[in-house]
Amino acid sequence: MSEPTTEIVNFYEDRYSEAERLDRRPQARLERIRTLELIRDLLPATPARVLDVGGGPGAYARELVTDGHQVRLIDLVPAHVAQARAGTPTVEAVVGDARGLPEPDAAWDATLLLGPVYHLQDRADRVRAIREAIRVTRPGGPVAVAAISRFAGPIDFAATARFDDRMLAESRRLITEGENIVGGGFTHAYFHRVPELLAECAEAGLGGVVLHGVEGPAWSAAEAAVHGPAADAIFDAALRLARLYSSERDLAAASCHLLVTGTAG
């Protein structure tokens, strides 16, 4: 494996537990709820054949299996594949790279690309991964592509009282550069501006695109209020706003995660 790929695998196997992430914080809980809602709205009726590329330990795949879909998970990290296979219900899972999927053309009714794009710092690799997701999806089938907003990190640090001079400098850098600096708590990643993400999806050939802001514009308020007396009320309001403003392009970049949905050609 190349150095960035090896570092990503090592990060998730040795230094970070992805299996616990979606239950950890208000932002992650909003991400889980809204991503699952958007996926369920997108997918064909059960039972559909769904390919979950970069599906990690299987948080979404397991939900979709429970719904009655036939799901196959592909992930770069062997530990994630093992966790997906070991959970209940079990998920069919294999190790693989989003840039070269071990799947025939048009083999799946729908394809989810919920992690790989924001771990690929090279634009050509991101377009290649999206193109691969389209290739393995039947014509007219839905494809979902997730990204992290360029502004997610600084907003998160401000909401959680971790914003300091170092983060101010990082925020200034991120205005023009999207690449994460490895060693700051995360691995190789690219943080998108909305026009960049849409352009990459268009270049890959994704049709009928709709852009969603996943957590909505009030996720940072839920983070800031997490230990206060109004935490539940603010979380509920943030979730309602995320649903209401989901496809408002002017607000999308205020979300932590972006989700583009479209169809294979």
How many domains, in total, are found in the chain?
1
With 0.85 as the threshold, say if the pTM is over it.
yes
Least trusted range by pLDDT, from 47-61, 116-130, 181-195: 181-195
CATH number for the domain including 254? Answer: 3.40.50.150
- pLDDT-based confidence at residue 87 (cuts at 50, 70, 90): confident
> 142-161, pLDDT tens digit by residue?
999 999 999 999 999 999 99
Residue 1: predicted pLDDT = 58
Domain interval for residue 129: 3-263
Confidence of residue 44 (pLDDT cuts 50, 70, 90): very high
pLDDT surpassing 90 at residue 220: yes
> Alpha carbon of 85 to those of 17, 52, 58, 75, 220: distances in Å?
16, 13, 8, 12, 34
Check pLDDT > 90 for residue 138.
yes
Q: What is the pLDDT of residue 193?
A: 98
